[in-house]
Chains A and B, each alone.
Chain A
């Protein structure tokens, strides 16, 4: 029977069938962060259990630590206990902990691929919904809840049912001024925020073959905003090239064997999916959100939609609520809408290629007065690489703050918030009500659009820069 990429990895990880479509699935990698990692380890201990495979767990503080230059684990005082708990409990359990200030620290989903923790063909979980990011390298990676984190710590397995399968095929080349982030937002806008619920999504087609690996990570990151359980791109030569030589990647004979195994991870030509969609990337404009769901998207040179044009009453109400919250009027042009904050960061867009995209736009220009503009690199690794290219000084000269790696203003769990009523263009992945702070108005966009908007002091079309 024809099998998919997903079937092949899933089936290879079944420890045992549990009946009723349930299986006990082996988990090859487990990422822990400060918000859920420490409390889960404490929970495990309180049940009298120990970590079954500490060598497969990797921890770093990212959510609740300050991103201020010179920060330490106590700089954001409300997060100090979470930080210390993760540090101490991982040490006691023998789990690798990538501490602040050292290589390896960063947003879990940014540091894991770049350290070679994430490998094609593996299963991977983290108590965080954007774990699907790691699917960009061809891992089955998904977010889990606190009880499941404890379950994996204790058993290195999860009880799972196979999700349905969806394929999104990409054709064409990304136009000038457009990035993978725009493609991702465009797809979410077209399919809706629940299109992938209950599904594992394979991103495939010529558009993926020509997409740089960091772009695939961004695309898979945003896939959870389609409601998908996980998303991935089958590994190819570019994936192997990306993984090769990373600190935790296999070497020698193990590497040779890995590459052979990965080459077999393919979707058969005659495999069938429960759902399919297809996009021409050449037709995607720079895209930005106007509302409070990632599906509320428009072309950056487009207008805010009219709730009266919504297809049903529930959507009309949702649009109206979103416009009220965002302080926007139907028919208003998005371009030119004044902006107070610009945030370049998050596991969607804080890798080196993202910072380069933004840097290209700002070179030799200056942030508009009155705009607070931040760059928060995704990891120490990214930060160091950017440093060697002179990016921090370039951003600082343009009026940006260059900060320490972490989640920062993506989720505002470290006290770094957009003040109530203020408008932000953010390269993160969620524009939910209050996501960047109570009352904050978030527009999701690409690093290039965010950079252009910082210069203009308003939502801007990067094609004009």
Chain B
């Protein structure tokens, strides 16, 4: 995973609210290899003159967008598709929960700022001026130099800064997990599927 510290560049303003993951990447394309998803990103919105197709914003590393971005279905392809366009950071006033979590699994930074700040950034960025996102200081710097501070969970911030993913970390806790499961089997024998007090493992539980 690519670490994230500072990203600076054009910020494409796509100021619509509730852009859901079905719009970010249509269901027909979930079979497309990850590296090729970018061409289908935001397909339903791509009328002539669409902001991300304008030369000024092609490959823009930052996306400015409306509230509740990434709501809807859980598909992680939505993050991959945006990455396929070159986007490394999204700035919005709120996000769909699963999309938000998926970003951190893939080195994408979702910045949460108040709606007024996003609108003001979008106005300034509309002519292609550079916006800077500094994760070390947790600030977004507008083209006119205004600084917008944002907050981010420290654990997630660290993961992005270092470029590590969650699974690598958790695998180190394997013995702890097995110990917990052993105790839990005594505490809650009923939670083992098909349990008659002792539990059973069966790949065909209906037989």
A residues with CB within 8 A of B:
15-16, 18-22, 24, 26, 28-29, 35-36, 47, 49, 52-56, 58, 78, 81-82, 91, 94-98, 102-104, 115, 117, 119, 121-122, 127-129, 143-148, 150-151, 154-157, 159, 161, 163, 193-194, 197-198, 227-229, 247-248, 250-255, 257-258, 261, 293, 314-315, 317-318, 321, 411-413, 430, 432-435, 438
**Within the complex, which residue of A129, A159, A317 is in contact with B72, where a contact is CB–CB below 8 Å?**
A129
Distance (whole angstroms) from the CB of B66 to the closest CB of chain A: 6
Residue B94 lies at the interface, judged by CB distance under 8 Å to chain A: yes
Q: Could you give 21 example pairs across A and B, Cβ below 8 Å? A: A16-B180, A21-B153, A36-B75, A81-B31, A95-B203, A96-B205, A103-B206, A119-B191, A128-B74, A145-B74, A154-B171, A161-B153, A193-B71, A197-B96, A250-B195, A250-B196, A257-B189, A258-B190, A318-B17, A432-B22, A434-B44
Whether the pair A18, B180 counts as a contact (CB closer than 8 A) is no
Distance (whole angstroms) from the CB of A192 to the closest CB of chain B: 9
Apart from A119-B191, A159-B169, A413-B30, list 20 A-B contacts with CB within 8 A.
A20-B154, A22-B155, A47-B167, A78-B31, A81-B31, A117-B193, A127-B74, A128-B74, A145-B75, A145-B98, A147-B166, A147-B167, A148-B105, A197-B94, A254-B190, A254-B197, A317-B16, A433-B22, A438-B26, A438-B44
Which residues of the other chain, A, contact B173 by a CB distance below 8 angstroms? 15-16, 24, 155, 157
Whether the pair A194, B170 counts as a contact (CB closer than 8 A) is no
Which residues of the other chain, A, contact B180 by a CB distance below 8 angstroms? 15-16, 26
- Given A26-B180, A155-B177, A248:B66 Cβ within 8 A: no
Whether the pair A227, B26 counts as a contact (CB closer than 8 A) is no
Which residues of the other chain, B, contact A35 by a CB distance below 8 angstroms? 30, 75
Whether the pair A122, B153 counts as a contact (CB closer than 8 A) is no
List B residues 46-68 near A (Cβ within 8 Å): 66-68
Report the Cα distance A166→B183, complex, angstroms. 31
Report the Cα distance A19→B153, complex, angstroms. 11
Distance (whole angstroms) from the CB of B175 to the closest CB of chain A: 11
Whether the pair A54, B203 counts as a contact (CB closer than 8 A) is yes
Residue B149 lies at the interface, judged by CB distance under 8 Å to chain A: no
Residue B39 lies at the interface, judged by CB distance under 8 Å to chain A: no
Residue B162 lies at the interface, judged by CB distance under 8 Å to chain A: no
Report the Cα distance A145→B66, complex, angstroms. 22
Report the Cα distance A79→B154, complex, angstroms. 41
Report the Cα distance A193→B97, complex, angstroms. 12
Whether the pair A430, B22 counts as a contact (CB closer than 8 A) is yes
Whether the pair A434, B67 counts as a contact (CB closer than 8 A) is no
Whether the pair A194, B97 counts as a contact (CB closer than 8 A) is no
Which residues of the other chain, A, contact B101 by a CB distance below 8 angstroms? 144-145, 148
Interface string of B165-199 (1 = CB under 8 A from A): 11101110110110011001000111111111100
Which residues of the other chain, B, contact A20 by a CB distance below 8 angstroms? 153-155
Interface string of B28-50 (1 = CB under 8 A from A): 10110000000000001000000
**Within the complex, which residue of A147, A193, A317, A434 is in contact with B22, where a contact is CB–CB below 8 Å?**
A434
Report the Cα distance A41→B101, complex, angstroms. 20
Report the Cα distance A315→B66, complex, angstroms. 11
Which residues of the other chain, B, contact A257 by a CB distance below 8 angstroms? 188-190
Report the Cα distance A21→B67, complex, angstroms. 25
Whether the pair B166, A96 counts as a contact (CB closer than 8 A) is no
Residue B23 lies at the interface, judged by CB distance under 8 Å to chain A: yes
List B residues 96-145 near A (Cβ within 8 Å): 96-98, 101-102, 105-106
Distance (whole angstroms) from the CB of B101 to the closest CB of chain A: 6
Report the Cα distance A252→B194, complex, angstroms. 11
Whether the pair B76, A147 counts as a contact (CB closer than 8 A) is yes
Whether the pair A159, B44 counts as a contact (CB closer than 8 A) is no
Report the Cα distance A251→B17, complex, angstroms. 49
Which residues of the other chain, B, contact A122 by a CB distance below 8 angstroms? 191
Which residues of the other chain, B, contact A258 by a CB distance below 8 angstroms? 188, 190-191
Distance (whole angstroms) from the CB of A397 to the closest CB of chain B: 32
**Within the complex, which residue of A36, A129, A159 is in contact with B170, where a contact is CB–CB below 8 Å?**
A159
Report the Cα distance A81→B171, complex, angstroms. 30
Report the Cα distance A412→B180, complex, angstroms. 41
Report the Cα distance A19→B166, complex, angstroms. 14
Whether the pair B74, A197 counts as a contact (CB closer than 8 A) is no
Whether the pair B193, A227 counts as a contact (CB closer than 8 A) is no
Whether the pair B197, A252 counts as a contact (CB closer than 8 A) is yes
Distance (whole angstroms) from the CB of B205 to the closest CB of chain A: 5
Report the Cα distance A94→B167, complex, angstroms. 22
With a 10 A CB-CB cut-off, give which of A56, A96, A251 has the most chain B CB atoms: A96
Which residues of the other chain, B, contact A47 by a CB distance below 8 angstroms? 167
Whether the pair A314, B105 counts as a contact (CB closer than 8 A) is no
Whether the pair B195, A254 counts as a contact (CB closer than 8 A) is yes
When C-beta atoms are compared, the residue in chain A nearest to B23 turns out to be A433
**Within the complex, which residue of B105, B165, B181 is in contact with A26, where a contact is CB–CB below 8 Å?**
B181
- Given A252-B196, A314-B67, A155:B167 Cβ within 8 A: yes
When C-beta atoms are compared, the residue in chain A nearest to B188 turns out to be A261
Distance (whole angstroms) from the CB of A355 to the closest CB of chain B: 22
Closest 9 pairs (CB-CB, A-B): A147-B105, A258-B190, A250-B190, A145-B102, A146-B76, A145-B76, A254-B190, A55-B201, A143-B74
